Amino acid sequence: MDYFNYKDNRLFAEDVDINTLAGKYGTPLYVYSKRTLVEHFRKIKDAFEGLDTLICYSIKANSNLAVLSAMREEGAGFDIVSGGELYRSLNAGADPAKIVYAGVGKTKEEIRYALKTGILMFNVESAEELKTINNVAKSMKKKADVALRINPDVDAHTHDYITTGKKENKFGIDIVLARTLFNSARKYMHINLIGVDMHIGSQITTVGPYLEAIKKVAAFIQELRADGAAIEYFNIGGGMGIIYNEEKPTTADSFAGAVKPLIAGLRLKIILEPGRFIVGNAGILVTKVIYNKKGRNKNFLIVDAGMNDLIRPSLYGAYHKIIPVNVVKAKVELYDIVGPICESSDFLGKDRHLPRLDEGDLLAVRSAGAYGFAMSSNYNSRPRAAEVMVSGSKYSLVRERETWSDLILKEKKTK
């Protein structure tokens, strides 16, 4: 599943001892395994073999340039949601012709930047946005290639905050409205409607919701075609779930096996936008115990990584396995593993059994490659963590640790 394993009771990322990395770069530290990253990309790619497929890695999951360039080397395209993500992907050497741009709030400035760059297409999320794209393209004397993002109104059975394909969500366009919009889109002289898109949510562990949504959207595509539309692309989104703890998510092979029969007959180019599936288990967050604090009812391991470094437990109640970097034979105790931030929601894990640990001992928070560093912040004026990419026995610092002076770099005192 991944390449974070113990060798002689010490945790390694591929062939590199985590103790070495923590010693050299300090903690909290994100460590990525390139091999895990690449193998997960290939799992999806191979599973869809035989269909004309473009896999657009969803940058929001982890946008470090080293991750992006590893994906680019594998032939991945990119799924972006902002001008900043476009800037990053171009910086990593992305081919603009493999970039798809989603998001409900694209600004005129961002649309202009994307049109200038020559991306593959915009995934349009509203009638209002379509109009704006047409106007911006007109002002630039260009034609914009677009896909309509359909909200198929299916329940992805995941956390409410990361469900995106239900009618009460802000994402995508209702199918009935999409039909009307399609007709008005024909009147737009600066729009090329070339695709239909869906993305129903994230950390989805079964294939059922995809099948339900794909059936609805495929029927819609057939209607559009009957109406004379030249649809070339069907983007089925991302969202494939991973193992954090006890989950048994659909594998890439069985996912593709179930989906293919529904899409193969459409003779369309298929786009996928996986993020977490590729990078989720390719990263860990290494943190150091500051105090082993005895509370009245609880033992706390107070560590140097907080919710500013990894917000998933606080925000979604997400579970991440937490393991010692060095296996020691000590009495097992029950701990809450918490950060130094002044919020009760600042925890990485609750009620975990771990051998007794003390100041200076290292822990690894697993499955932290997706939506880990990418969602980190400077809350409590904490410089953001460093990031390291391991490949075999080699490693490189791919983002320096921020410093205290970085924290105030953009600020000014009033006179």
Residues assigned a catalytic role: 342
Q: How many residues does the chain have?
A: 415
Helices (H), 195-273: 208-226, 252-263
Residue type (1 letter), 319:
Y
104 binds ligand LLP (CB under 6 A): no
Question: Between residues 202 and 250, which has the closer beta carbon with respect to ligand LLP?
Answer: 202
199 binds ligand LLP (CB under 6 A): yes
Contact 204, 210 (CB under 8 A): yes
Beta-ladder partners of 284: 31
275 binds ligand LLP (CB under 6 A): yes
Instruction: Transcribe 113-124 into DSSP letters.
Output: HHHHHT-SEEEE
Instruction: Return the structure tokens found at 106.
Output: 């694209």
Q: Over the Cα atoms of the chain, what is R_g?
A: 23
Site residues for ligand LLP, 4-63, by CB under 6 A, read: 58, 60-61
Using the rule CB under 6 A, which residue among 312, 320, 366, 382 binds ligand LLP?
312
Residues that contact ligand LLP, how many (by CB under 6 A): 23
Contacts of residue 173, Cβ cutoff 8 Å, sequence gap at least 6 = 124, 125, 126, 127, 148, 149, 150, 151, 181
Using the rule CB under 6 A, which residue among 277, 335, 347, 395 binds ligand LLP?
277
Cα separation, 34 vs 282, in Å, equals 7
Please identify, among the stretches 45-53, 198-206, 207-215, 243-251, the one whose residues bind ligand LLP according to the rule CB under 6 A: 198-206
Question: Between residues 290 and 374, which has the closer beta carbon with respect to ligand LLP?
Answer: 374
Beta-ladder partners of 173: 150
Using the rule CB under 6 A, which residue among 35, 88, 106, 276 binds ligand LLP?
276
Neighbours of 6 (CB within 10 A): 14
Q: Min. distance of Cβ 311 from ligand LLP in angstroms?
A: 8
Question: Between residues 203 and 391, which has the closer beta carbon with respect to ligand LLP?
Answer: 203
Site residues for ligand LLP, 330-389, by CB under 6 A, read: 370-371
Residues that bind ligand LLP in the complex, under the rule CB under 6 A: 58, 60-61, 79, 102, 162, 164, 199, 202-203, 237-240, 273-277, 312, 316, 370-371
